[in-house]
Amino acid sequence: MTFFGTALLVSTALSATASEQEAAKLGKALTPVGAERAGNKEGTIPAWTGGDMAPPAGWKPGALRPDPYAGDKRQFSIDASNVDRYKDKLAAGQVEMIKNIPGYRMDVYPTHRSCGYPEFFYERTRKNAVSAKMAPNGHDMAEAIGAAVPFPIPHSGAEAIWNHKLSWRGEGFQQHFSTYIPPKGSDSIGEAITQDEWELAPMWSPSNKGIADAHSIEYQLLNVYTSPPSIAGDATLGQYNFGKPNDVWLYFASQRRVRRAPTYQYDAPILNTENLQIVDQYLQFNGPLDRYDWKLAGKKELYVPYNTYRLNSPANKVADVVKPKFLSRDLTRYELHRMWVVEATLKEGMRHMFPKRTFYIDEDSWTILVEDMYDAQGKVWRTTEMGPYMAWEVPACVWSANISYDHVAGRALIDRVQAGGKEADWLAAREGRLKAGTFEPDGLRRATTR
């Protein structure tokens, strides 16, 4: 792991902007979003050359998304027989999964640095580099413009986490997906918990002028359950805010009433997840940062899910994607990429079920691809994984299928599975199929009867 100097790690939270000299590296030694442009010395990570921005010939938005790397040959597999040979490029939780889950392996393919974004995104990121600021408390954001990376040259762990929290996937989108919670000790994958989800934020607009222009809203999310029948019609509306906890409203179809949920924060269990997922674990991490101290611990080369076109194809059958303890090993593609490492340690006097967490953030997409969550004895409790792929129509790196594995319970929660469904609509807001009025609390009932 590469470590930064002490002066960098303790940089003031009052103003963490990059200097003009640092920002001048963007688009040169650094990519426009702040990743290292060069490959590694071994040649196992190539140089970034702009991302794979062009879709395969003949493809149009809404059609099944082909895998542009389908012809790649697997280089090797990591399993229980050889995991110790590769553990320096694995997260602790990944090692535990390989060692303790029968049949678990990671198939490694050539690395493609496929992520790329529009020119306006790069221009706005350059502006943020010298103007975005953290608040004096060190965990809230004070100012940044949206549709851009806020801190392409991060000076603290909190800044790197904000880059993930505001990672751009277009102006707003709609997805239909399923969640599976396989019962313990069974070969069954359990019944599908299906949802329609809409996400939107004024911070994602290319014309956004900053946090005030976004009315201090990070983004908004609406989930409506469509099955099983016992919860069909239930809905969750979340508004993620700058400088204060999330606002959450719940609608229960059986009661026909909307209820505000002020305690649906931090480590509160998410509804319908059998206590296998907590609120701030959703979307890899969300909500306030105030309960942890955040340390930027450098970079690490890590084998991570990446270019996950095969895994996320709606043409798949569910049984081919979802297994009792993991996502399909035959469909999940791993590559070697550089990850920013952020360590979160619970502050004295604060409470959270995970006193320590380690996040691995992709340098090219600024998204958390792997997270290890630890118990009070310092043992890995949960591990999450997810892998990005290019949505050429946006263009941006997006993600869907992901897993949270509980090492103590020996159970997996497998989320955002698109098998048997349809492609996500990443242009829903841009092309007028998604409106701001969707996210009003009074509209929850309307959303359940669409």
Query: 73: how many CB neighbours lie within 10 A of its CB?
Result: 6
199: which 2 tokens?
């996400």
DSSP-based three-state secondary structure for 448: helix
Asked, for residue 256, whether it belongs to a domain, the answer is yes
Contacts (Cβ under 8 Å, ≥6 apart) of 434? 172, 173, 174, 198, 200, 428
pLDDT computed for residue 383 by the predictor: 98
Q: Say how many residues make up the chain.
A: 450
pLDDT attached to residue 405: 98
3-state DSSP call for residue 113? coil
CA 59 to chain centre: 26
Q: How far apart are CA 386 and CA 370, in angstroms?
A: 7
Identify whether 59 is part of a domain: no
| Residue 64 domain flag | no
pLDDT of amino acid 448: 67
Q: Token pair of 120, please?
A: 């306006």
CA end-to-end span of the chain:
50
**Number of compact structural domains in the chain:** 1
Contact 396, 404 (CB under 8 A): no
DSSP 55: P
In a domain, 60, yes or no: no
**How far is Cα 132 from Cα 16, in angstroms, rounded to an integer?**
8
Q: Residues 77, 80, 84, 90: is their CA dihedral positive or negative?
A: positive
- Residue 69 maps to a domain: no
Q: Which two tokens stand for residue 216?
A: 């201090």
CB 96 within 8 A of CB 122: no
Res 438: pLDDT: 87
Asked whether residue 63 is assigned to any structural domain, the reply reads no
Per-residue confidence (pLDDT) for residue 191, from 0 to 100: 96
Element (H, E) at 76: strand 76-78
Instruction: Tell me the C-alpha distance between 66 and 42, whole Å.
Output: 30
Whether 65 maps to a domain, the answer reads: no
Per residue of the chain (450 residues), what is the pLDDT tens digit? 544 333 333 333 344 579 999 999 999 999 999 999 999 999 999 999 999 999 999 999 999 999 999 999 999 999 999 999 999 999 999 999 999 999 999 999 999 999 999 999 999 999 999 999 999 999 999 999 999 999 999 999 999 999 999 999 999 999 999 999 999 989 999 999 999 999 999 999 999 999 999 999 999 999 999 999 999 999 999 999 999 889 999 999 988 889 999 999 999 999 999 999 999 999 999 999 999 999 999 999 999 999 999 999 999 999 999 999 999 999 999 999 999 999 999 999 999 999 999 999 999 999 999 999 999 999 999 999 999 999 999 999 999 999 999 999 999 999 999 999 999 999 999 999 998 788 988 777 677 665
Q: Is residue 443 part of a domain?
A: yes
User: Is the dihedral angle over the CA atoms 190, 448, 167, 271 positive or is it negative?
Assistant: negative
Do 18 and 130 touch, CB atoms closer than 8 A? yes
| Nearest alpha-carbon partner for 364 in 396, 332, 391 | 396
Question: Residue 167: CB partners within 8 Å, gap ≥ 6?
Answer: 365, 366, 367
- Tokens (6 digits) for 237: 């509306």
Q: The domain containing residue 277 runs over which residues?
A: 6-54+74-448
Q: So what's the pLDDT on residue 444?
A: 78
CATH number reported for the structural domain that contains residue 322 in this entry: 2.50.20.10
